[in-house]
């Protein structure tokens, strides 16, 4: 407005032929324009300097706010407030970084961070000990040279994947469990890997499994041998009355009948013992799977045909469903069928304990990491927790005529497929056996 007034006045004086006044007003306008340009450039330089300082993480910059120009004073005051805000954020970020680094360094679990270039950015003391490098080392690239197998194992680990790694450290063997997660750091993604030595845990679990197996084996063998011991004692009493051998003349029809019955018991129990041994051999001689790809829809149709009539006879509501997109299954079809048949038969036995509203459902759905879940669920009685802990133990059974190896064989078959067999059962849900295999 001031420029407009000066130039309009200069024009008006020029029109009146007052050249001196016109020149004065024109010079005043030029002086005003120069001042405005200087203020504009000074303001732009200050703002540019401010943002360059922020870009360089320099939050110590302060602008004077007690100046005569009120516009510049408000601008400087605003930039100072913004600068203090960034300073607080920076201090908080530095605190958080120190805090998390302290947590990582002092964690009882080995923790290691890899960037997208598979470069080690951070290792805590436990991870260094597992990797066999000094915690005081400032050059984390030494891991690639000093323990190449360890380095390759963590580099090939995919986010969400768990993997075991066996290595010899001094005079001891370590069984390390690697777990990886992916998270974003600024604009980049880094991989956080946790490392645990699970050898002792595996050994304790293995020992507990052996204990459970020995208890079951002892129980079954004692059940089979107890009648033999009893029969032997009875025959000894018959043929050695008064601790003297019986005379041939004392043999009668009753003694012969008792002898024949005892032989029958011995024969029966011996067959039971032989069957027990054969079942154990079956458990330890499962063939190596021949992995092939087969059609999921065709397989489900075959299962519907196999079980539809039996389900109708027993008034069982039977359903097979599959998630869209599952076309192929990668497995040994014969062995998988063996698992499914065993689980289906168990499910039928379970729902037959109900008088009505019997239900069995088989579902196939996608699982993480290119795997699928095949679930066989039934609404039969809930499996008690004390039974759930033993249900996969060989020769443990709650059935009167069960061998107790069906579920053990099923679990072993799934392990041979690099998969697993799990069971869930509770009052508020159906009992489900879940097979996990690769697509």
| Mean pLDDT of the region 386-396 | 75
Residue 29: strand, helix, or coil: helix
Top-confidence range, 71-75, 88-92, 232-236, 292-296: 292-296
Residues 139 and 221 grouped into a single domain: no
Please tell me the predicted confidence (pLDDT) of residue 202: 66
**What is the pLDDT confidence band of residue 359, given thresholds at 50, 70 and 90?**
very high
pLDDT tens digits for range 77-90: 777 888 888 888 88
Task: Find out whether 126 and 135 touch, Cβ atoms under 8 Å.
Answer: no
Residue 324 lies in a domain: yes
Residue 206 lies in a domain: no
Residue 26 predicted with pLDDT over 80: no
pLDDT tens digits for range 396-415: 677 766 666 778 888 888 88
Number of domains the chain contains = 4
* Beta carbons within 10 angstroms of residue 80's beta carbon: 16
Task: Find out whether 136 and 123 touch, Cβ atoms under 8 Å.
Answer: no
Residue 134 lies in a domain: yes
Task: Find out whether 282 and 404 touch, Cβ atoms under 8 Å.
Answer: no
Domain with residue 189: its CATH number is 3.30.450.20
pTM, to two decimals: 0.48
| Mean pLDDT of the region 156-178 | 78
Please tell me the predicted confidence (pLDDT) of residue 172: 61
- Domain with 133, as residue range(s), is 106-197
| Mean pLDDT of the region 213-239 | 72
Residues 297 and 190 grouped into a single domain: no
Top-confidence range, 81-90, 294-303, 383-392: 294-303
Half-sphere exposure of 258 (CA within 13 A, CB side): 14
Residues 419 and 298 grouped into a single domain: yes
Share the mean pLDDT of the chain.
Answer: 80
Question: What single-letter DSSP state applies at residue 384?
Answer: P
Residue 211 lies in a domain: no
Top-confidence range, 11-25, 263-277, 303-317, 389-403: 303-317
């Amino acid at each position: 407005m001031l420029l407009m007034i000066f130039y309009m006045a200069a024009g008006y004086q020029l029109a009146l032929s007052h050249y001196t006044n016109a020149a004065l007003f024109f010079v005043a306008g030029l002086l005003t324009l120069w001042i405005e340009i200087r203020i504009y450039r000074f303001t732009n330089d200050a703002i540019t300097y401010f943002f360059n300082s922020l870009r360089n993480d320099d939050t110590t910059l302060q602008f004077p706010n007690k100046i005569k120009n009120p516009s510049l004073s408000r601008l400087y005051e605003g930039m100072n407030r913004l600068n203090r805000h960034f300073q607080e954020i920076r201090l908080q970020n530095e605190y958080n970084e120190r805090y998390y680094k302290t947590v990582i360094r002092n964690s009882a679990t080995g923790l290691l961070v890899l960037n997208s270039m598979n470069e080690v950015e951070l290792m805590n003391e436990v991870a260094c000990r597992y990797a066999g490098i000094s915690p005081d080392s400032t050059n984390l690239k030494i891991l690639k040279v000093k323990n190449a197998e360890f380095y390759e194992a963590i580099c090939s680990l995919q986010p969400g994947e768990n993997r075991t790694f066996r290595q010899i450290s001094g005079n001891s063997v370590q069984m390390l469990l690697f777990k990886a997660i992916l998270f974003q750091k600024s604009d980049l993604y880094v991989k956080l890997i946790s490392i645990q030595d699970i050898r002792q845990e595996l050994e304790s679990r293995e020992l507990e499994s052996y204990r459970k197996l020995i208890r079951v084996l002892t129980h079954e063998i004692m059940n089979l041998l107890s009648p033999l011991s009893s029969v032997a004692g009875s025959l000894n009493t018959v043929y050695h009355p008064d601790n003297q051998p019986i005379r041939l003349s004392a043999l009668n029809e009753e003694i012969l009948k008792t002898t024949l019955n005892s032989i029958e018991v011995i024969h029966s129990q011996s067959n039971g013992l032989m069957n027990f041994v054969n079942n154990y051999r079956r458990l330890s001689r499962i063939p190596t799977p021949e992995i092939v790809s087969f059609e999921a829809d065709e397989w489900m149709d075959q299962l519907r045909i196999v079980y539809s009539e039996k389900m109708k006879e027993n008034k069982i509501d039977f359903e097979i469903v599959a998630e869209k997109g599952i076309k192929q299954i990668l497995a040994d079809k014969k062995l998988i069928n063996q698992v499914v048949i065993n689980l289906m038969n168990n499910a039928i036995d379970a729902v037959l304990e109900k008088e009505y509203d019997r239900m069995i459902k088989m579902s196939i759905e996608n699982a993480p990491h290119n795997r699928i879940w095949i679930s066989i669920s039934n609404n039969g009685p809930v499996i008690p927790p004390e039974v759930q802990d033993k249900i996969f133990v060989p020769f443990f059974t709650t059935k009167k005529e069960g061998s107790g190896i069906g579920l053990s064989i099923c679990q072993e078959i799934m392990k041979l497929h690099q998969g697993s067999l799990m069971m869930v059962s509770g009052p508020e849900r159906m009992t489900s056996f879940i097979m996990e295999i690769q697509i």
